[in-house]
Amino acid sequence: MTNIDQFESIFKSAAKTPFEFVPVHTRSMLLVMDAEGDTVDWYRARVERFLKSMGDRAPADIYVLERGELGTVSGLLEAVDRYAVDLVCTYRNLRIPATEHPYSLGVYVDVLSQVASAPLLLLPRPEVLEHQDDLLQNTREVMAVTDNLTGDHRLVNYAAHFTAAGGKLILSHIEDMIVFERYMDVISKLPAIETETARHDVLEQLLKEPRDYIASCRKALEEANHRVDVGEIVRLGKRLDDYKALIAELGIDLIVLHTKDADQLAMHGYAYPLAVELRTVPLLLL
């Protein structure tokens, strides 16, 4: 390696992407249900109780779209545009028996998560809440989930916004073990590169970048007087398995993750299996 190459590597490794705090606003919300009457009233009350822990950041105006107004998928999208809300809230399997389709989200949720401009708050179904009063208590434990945390300002801003004052915001970055080992296997076949040194240095840099970014998130949120305790999970692992285990272990109240993918008309990456399997954990889909 030439002196110029060494200088360039040192310069690049020192370069950091600092977090940019931008306040999020969720003044209004549209609650979409395939029920009516008393069911709508008590479900709305549970949702309001859940969001109350956000304090003055919770939606002040909540509109409700009941079963008789739900209509077609395109009609729902028109309604979302008409209300011009900051947040849409609903649950899985609208208008289809959830017991018959336990491993799907339903066409309404699929389309809302991909097409609607407003974030989607996906909550447990009414029949689930009816028998589990411990669900939807507050947003004191919020986890941001992504495959590349560094520079993802929008994800962190939304996660911080929904975390209750005095609560804990967990910023996570799990480097994919399978992908890492595949590249290490290629490197091991290149005689010009010492494999063990490369393994150590590459992994160290991969984990250093999100840790530095989380440190900048913590600093910026403190400076903005956003009163949350910022925790971090940065490791090499199996993303889907690790996230499911961590969410159960830590008792997460809300998961914040991306679902839109610029390269496909389908839910982003491992967001879909998480959304399907975590049926009692609230999800904020961006």
Beta bridge partners of 173: 234
> What would the pLDDT profile of 185-236 be if each residue is shown by its tens digit?
999 999 989 989 989 999 999 999 999 999 999 999 999 999 999 999 999 9
> Which one-letter DSSP state was computed for residue 78?
H
CATH, range 10-179+199-285: 3.40.50.12370
Q: Which stretches of 163-231 are DSSP H helices?
A: 177-187, 195-223
Residue 263: its pLDDT value, please?
A: 55
Distance of CA 225 to the CA centre of its chain: 23
Q: What is the rounded CA–CA span in Å between residue 237 and residue 35?
A: 41
Query: Which of 203, 231, 263, 267 lies closest to 142 in space, CA to CA?
Result: 231
Q: What is the pTM of this model?
A: 0.89
For residue 78, what are the contacts with CB-CB under 8 A and spacing of at least 6? none
> What would the pLDDT profile of 94-141 be if each residue is shown by its tens digit?
988 656 566 788 999 999 998 898 999 999 999 999 888 889 999 999
Phi/psi for 125 (5° steps) reads -70, 155
> What would the pLDDT profile of 257-280 be if each residue is shown by its tens digit?
988 765 545 565 677 888 888 889
Residue 133: its pLDDT value, please?
A: 85
